[in-house]
Amino acid sequence: MSVTSTPAVAVRGADRRRIARWVQDNGVYVALAAVVAFNLAATPNFASLATVRTQLIQVAPILIIALGMALVIGTEGIDLSVGSVMALTAALLPLYLGYGTAPAILISLAAGAAVGLVNGSLIAFIGVQPIVATLALLVGGRGLALVFADGRLKQIEDPNLLELGSGSVLGVPIVVLVALVLALAVAFLVQRSTFGRQLVAVGGNRAASELAGIPVRRVLIWVYVLCGLLAAVAGILATARLRASDPSAVGTLIELSAITAVVVGGTPLSGGRVRIVGTVAGAVLMQLITATLITQDLPSSTAQIVQAAIIVAAVYVQRQRGSR
Amino acid sequence: MSESLERSASGVLTSVPLADEVVAVDEGGPAVSDRARRGERLAGLAQRQGAWVVLLLVCLVASLSFDSFATTDNASNIAIQTSFLAIVALGMTFAIISGGIDLSVGSVFALGGVLAAYGSQYGFLVGLGLPLLAGAAIGLINGVLVAKGGLAPFIVTLATLLGARGLLLAITDEGSTTFLVPRDSAFLELGRGELLGLGYPVWMALVLALLAGVLLQRTSFGQCVFAIGGSQDAARLMGLPVARATMGVYVLSGILAALAGALLAARSGSGVPIVGVGLELNAISAVVIGGTLLTGGAGGISGTVAGVLLLGVIQNIINQIGSLNSSLQAVVSGAFLILVVIGQTYLSRRQRR
């Protein structure tokens, strides 16, 4: 009996592994499809253009930050400072809008890149743990933003900047367009460029990458600079949409939402693998779940508990690959 | 793999003071290596106890600069303000030494406070027991998912951070209800009472720190925590109860966070749902400043206490200056954290060399 059943068990084991693999790779898309299907059936007016617009606009800043976070997590790192970078850009924008929209935006982007450079240098050259290095900038960055802004909320009146936040091109909101273009660019970077290969190699095995002659430190610094830049873009867009600079509130806890989107999208925290399409799907999925729970008249407390359960389920499914 | 084994070795060395001398006797090498070893040991000492030195220096400078700093009033103020963070940071120290992290403490802290205020309507024991039970339960969820599920502690405790806040909102009617501790409740005494000029929460933090130190350094549980942080695989191969100890670590952290929240509720007389946001970051900062390595396998309770006090003293000094923008406090804390971490990374690298 046991002799005859052995091959069958082996086959079933292989099957199960293949199924697990498939769920790991495609679970986020299945979940997304299920949530969309549920909404099509249960939520009136879900299939309207207005709903799609609202959801996409709301998810855009998180999505942009999640793109940078995916790169960082791919190198086995993490960036907790993204929310504070948003605050910093929000504080800097009104200070420099007097010189024109473009200079103000450029200075904000430079601030994001600078924070990324500090993060990257601490991590690459001094060997500080990514959590601690970026934690220091999370604490210090928002403080600095509040010092710049004098702790006040400021109205934004610059028409160009406001247009960036609420305008559309061919019916697509500019905010969404920017997120889409950035997602494509980052996906190209990861899958088609040398830098992308090097990034994944560094995350997979740093020592081996060093031996293979990959400029590990340069790659790490660039990854954190990119993440800072993307966070600055998200900060600019959020400020433009809000029509006000609010450094004390903008982007608080967004690092957690971004990490969630990345992890739910199938990028393991252990590094060596980056999935940009999955990250996009993860961000949209988490946004839709929150929206669904709200439209179903469930309180936000339930929404948070459901999100927690989904995070645990997502990492549980990916556990085998992560521990390998 | 070899790197983490080295780390586990250094973890055991720092945890057992005798081991240093044993190694020295064993080798008995030439004078040059003796000197190198002394340098190494000095670097290790600076890394482990540096926070106390910095704390002393900062206090010295502050008491020379401000008349109102070195007064008993101010000291007992700092003590009471830091006692809640201290209790949370004790649990965090265990989590980080075991190579993990507990992001859920801020939410558990708030949950503990609200449950304490709610429970105190039914008597002292319910007021204290309910938060501790909830803290232990959330810690157990963390521990089981990490130890049995093999999930990354960062992401598990991130999920319970969200989940516990959600639970908190559900209990408090979406945050709109604030439970008050009854005015005649003995529970209030727990937060407001004083002994020898120090509040009960301070005494509680001191006693808990002593107990945590003993638990970490003098028990097999503590040694197991160090071993897991050094190398989980090696600890498992040595036959240590890795899963049980890991669960113990997170349960401990949950209980301590909930207790700190309960004490705050007892002191303020109410359970406020919005407290404790970002508390996990303060606790991690304190632990790291105290010389515990985030890589796990090395660290100690005394450093954490120094780290917590240092954060408290810095905040106090900025308040003393008064004319400064209060947002500067965050900038100073962040800059300070960077300096400490750079120093520590340098020292721990030197030690290993």
DSSP A240-286: HHHTEE-TTTTTTTHHHHHHHHHHHTT--TTSS---HHHHHHHHHHH
Report pLDDT for A320. Answer: 57
pLDDT at A44 over 80: no
Paired tokens of A166: 């609420």
Contacts for B95 with CB less than 8 Å, ≥ 6 apart: B101, B102, B153, B249, B250, B253
Could you report the per-residue pLDDT of B296-339, keeping only the tens digit for each? Answer: 778 889 889 999 998 888 888 877 776 666 677 778 878 877 88
Report pLDDT for B28. Answer: 44
- For residues A306 and A303, give the distance between their C-alpha atoms in angstroms, rounded to a whole number: 5
User: Could you tell me which of B273, B223, B155 has the C-alpha nearest to residue A267?
Assistant: B155
A138/B281 touch (CB, cutoff 8 Å), yes or no: yes
In a domain, A294, yes or no: yes
pLDDT at B226 over 70: yes
Mean pLDDT of A82-100: 90
DSSP state of A122: I
Q: Please report how many Cα atoms fall inside a 13 Å half-sphere around the Cα of residue A309, on the Cβ side.
A: 10
| Residue B163 near chain A (CB below 8 Å) | yes
pLDDT at B102 over 50: yes
Determine contact, residues B131/B259, Cβ cutoff 8 Å.
yes
Looking up tokens 């540096």, which residue turns up?
B50
pLDDT at B18 over 60: no
Searching chain B, which residue's CA lies closest to the CA of residue A308? Answer: B159
| Residue B177 near chain A (CB below 8 Å) | no
| Residue B339 near chain A (CB below 8 Å) | no
Which residues in chain B have Cβ-Cβ distances shorter than 8 Å to A133? 338, 341
> What percent of chain B clears pLDDT 90, i.e. is strictly above it?
23
Question: How high does pLDDT run on average in chain B?
Answer: 81
Could you report the per-residue pLDDT of A4-41, keeping only the tens digit for each? Answer: 445 555 667 777 777 777 777 788 888 888 888 888 88
Paired tokens of B188: 């209030």
The H or E element that residue A155 is part of is strand A154-155
Mean pLDDT of B37-41: 74
Could you report the per-residue pLDDT of A278-287, keeping only the tens digit for each? Answer: 999 999 998 8
In a domain, A216, yes or no: yes
Handedness of CA A261, A262, A263, A267 (dihedral sign): positive
Could you report the per-residue pLDDT of B186-213, keeping only the tens digit for each? Answer: 777 777 878 887 888 889 899 999 999 8
- For residues B276 and B139, give the distance between their C-alpha atoms in angstroms, rounded to a whole number: 17
In a domain, A291, yes or no: yes
B327/A147 touch (CB, cutoff 8 Å), yes or no: yes
Q: How many CB atoms lie within 10 A of CB A212?
A: 11
Find the CATH number of the domain harbouring A136. 1.10.3470
Could you report the per-residue pLDDT of B230-258, keeping only the tens digit for each? Answer: 888 888 888 888 889 999 999 999 999 99
Partners of A168 in beta bridges: A173
DSSP state of A193: S
A127/B345 touch (CB, cutoff 8 Å), yes or no: yes
The H or E element that residue B198 is part of is strand B198-199
| Residue B22 near chain A (CB below 8 Å) | no
Could you report the per-residue pLDDT of A136-154, keeping only the tens digit for each? Answer: 888 888 888 888 888 778 8
Report pLDDT for B9. Answer: 39
Could you report the per-residue pLDDT of B70-100, keeping only the tens digit for each? Answer: 788 888 888 888 999 999 999 999 999 998 8
Mean pLDDT of B129-137: 93
Report pLDDT for B77. Answer: 84
In order of their start, the domains of chain B are 2-352 (1.10.3470)
Contacts for B221 with CB less than 8 Å, ≥ 6 apart: B215, B245, B248
Nearest Cα of chain A lies from the Cα of B307 at a distance, in angstroms, of 14
Report the domain count for chain A: 1
The H or E element that residue B179 is part of is strand B179-180
Selecting from A139, A151, A315 the residue whose C-beta is nearest the C-beta of B337 gives A139
How close are the terminal C-alpha atoms of chain B, in Å?
A: 17
pLDDT at A79 over 50: yes
In a domain, A13, yes or no: no
Residue B224, Cβ density class (10 Å: 0-12 exposed, 13-18 middle, ≥19 buried): buried
Could you report the per-residue pLDDT of B271-301, keeping only the tens digit for each? Answer: 888 888 878 888 988 898 888 887 777 888 9
| Residues spanned by the domain of A300 | 26-32+48-317
SS3 (DSSP) at A99: helix
A126/B333 touch (CB, cutoff 8 Å), yes or no: no
Interface test with B, best of A69, A119, A255, A301 (most B CBs within 10 A): A301
- pLDDT higher at B44 or B225: B225
In a domain, A113, yes or no: yes
Confidence of residue B133 (pLDDT cuts 50, 70, 90): very high
Report pLDDT for B3. Answer: 39
Mean pLDDT of B129-153: 91
Paired tokens of B257: 């966070």
Confidence of residue A322 (pLDDT cuts 50, 70, 90): very low
Selecting from A126, A260, A299 the residue whose C-beta is nearest the C-beta of B174 gives A299
Determine contact, residues A184/A198, Cβ cutoff 8 Å.
no
